[in-house]
Amino acid sequence: MPYTPGETAERLGVSIDTIRYYEKIGLLHGIQRTSSGRRVFSDDDLSRLGLLRCLRDSGMPIARLRRFAELLQEGDAAADRRTALLEEHDREIDEKVERLRLEQQRVREKIAWYRSVAR
């Protein structure tokens, strides 16, 4: 089913400007256009955009997103390289989560301290 840029943005919870930016920096390839030149997005495009958005939201730098998008273009031949890139990102997410848990503990300790002082 084809989707307009507006429908695509709404389904993904992003702005049309974000989609344009992703296309401009080379994250989106092969987006179909109507005879009048308007972009139309397929379910596959939405899936790819959703994954790219997930990676970005979880802290993947733009340069690495570009590399991932390039590897997507290579198809199954690059599956092992995509896997390695995602595994590296997954490890980085684990490290961030651990750091955040430590900071959260510190915040909770401070909350408890302030509650004890306020009584």
Which residues of the chain are modeled with pLDDT < 50?
Answer: none
Q: Residue 111 has what pLDDT? A: 97
Q: Residue 87 has what pLDDT? A: 98
Paired tokens of 21: 């930016």
Looking at the structure, give the CATH architecture of the domain made up of residues 5-118: Orthogonal Bundle (1.10)
**pTM score, two decimals?**
0.83
**CA 11 to CA 49: how far, in whole Å?**
10
CA 29 from chain center: how many Å? 16
Q: Residue 118 has what pLDDT? A: 86
Residue located via tokens 């848990």: 101
Domain definitions of the chain by residue range:
5-118
Tell me which residue of 61, 69, 63, 67 sits closest to 27, measured CA to CA.
69
